[in-house]
Amino acid sequence: MMTQAYTRASVEYEVLYKAIRALAALDDDHAREQNGVGFSGTTQFGHVLARAESWSPKMAEIAFEIAMHHRKQLRALGFEDAIPDPKERAPRVPSAGPKITQRLVVVTVHGGFALQSPYDPELVQEIKGSFRNRRWDAPNKVWEVGVNLNEIIPFASEHGFELSDGAAAKIAEIEAAQRARIEASKAESADYAVEGLGGTLRPFQAAGVKYAVEIAKGRVLIADEMGLGKTIQALAVAQKLGAFPLLVVCPASLKLNWQREAAWWLPGKTTSIVNGTLAPADVTIINYDIIGKHLAALKARGFKLMVLDESHYVKNYKAKRTQAIKELSKVVQYRVCLTGTPVLNRPRELITQLEMLGRLEAVRGAGAAGGL
């Protein structure tokens, strides 16, 4: 329970509060997109701060960090004066005492979020209908609800849940990580060496490989335009991770191209194109049309990385090849999707590609567009 708080009566706090309110007023899409308006992506917590009657010291510090991240917008809105940093200038004022309400968002020992509240049968039904991954923790008498900020923040606001200092800090940490991930996915150059590669990566390719390995941890969708070297980046990711044997799934017309590129960029590695039987090799290349026929043998091969070239081929979750690749993805640690057209007609076509990567829940929880 909070013992100190920043109240709206604090003179030093007034500018910071008005800044957060100004950003919230402009943010029509609730920070769902990086559009340069309002909180402009991955700062949904700002709306909670704008509505709160008082802030804990940790919440005030987070408000200052949000204001600093959006300082260009704030200057355009007329906030020319320096916004006070609560850690240095805003006084800490004793709160009115213990809060009467016991509805509280807390952080679990597992690093997720939980809802703490007196028993309310109507609220229980709301929780069950609002959270896909909820779980009742009987010993601690809380509902564990995962880390999906798109679910947690609106629910907490609508149902009168306060944020513990730990929950406020955790939300700020997640949003900061999301912003960093988005910025990393946009990088156009990087000094990133891949030992043993048969050529030199261009700066933007090096940036893509660095993001795939260090940020996405080997599970990434690379959606560069045609001709920018998605194939090269995928092979470089395999080399950097030492992820062999490698499986490449591609349209039949691209199998020879993959064989040539692998021979050039992965010197010393053996390659095999699957037409009939499955032969041992460092790099195995197979087309979508026959993957179902070889599914059992492929699962037994022990592939470390699977590349889906033209990954929009798995857009239809009902297709047999999609089901076969989904089954195969369960036994492969690293997965890379390559496509210049991740969505051909409808947004739902992206869902199966994210499932192949094991990234669908992460994207849902992020609630923001960016590098995958």
pLDDT score of 313: 86
Whole-angstrom Cα distance, residue 75 to residue 36? Answer: 13
Q: What is the pTM of this model?
A: 0.63
- What are the extents of the domains in the chain? 1-185, 190-366
pLDDT score of 360: 65
Q: CATH number for the 190-366 domain, one of 3.90.226.10, 1.10.645.10, 3.40.50.2000, 3.40.50.10810?
A: 3.40.50.10810
pLDDT digit of tens for each residue in the chain (372 aa)? 233 444 544 545 677 888 888 888 887 766 666 667 778 766 778 888 888 877 777 888 888 888 888 888 888 777 766 666 665 544 444 444 444 357 999 999 888 999 999 888 889 899 999 998 899 988 888 999 988 888 899 999 999 999 999 999 999 998 888 888 888 888 888 889 999 999 999 999 999 999 999 988 889 888 887 778 899 999 999 999 999 999 999 999 999 999 999 999 999 999 999 988 889 999 999 999 999 999 999 999 999 999 999 988 887 878 888 899 989 989 999 999 898 876 656 666 677 777 777 766 555 444 333 344
Whole-angstrom Cα distance, residue 80 to residue 61? Answer: 20
Q: What's the CA dihedral at 59, 359, 338, 250 to 10 degrees?
A: 180
pLDDT score of 11: 47
pLDDT score of 182: 81
Q: In what order do the strands lie in the sheet with 113-116?
A: 135-137, 142-146, 113-116, 104-107, 162-163
Whole-angstrom Cα distance, residue 54 to residue 56? Answer: 7
Output the six-digit token pair for 204: 């933007």
pLDDT score of 366: 46
Tell me the angle at which helices 349-357 and 320-329 cross, rounded to the nearest 10 degrees. 30
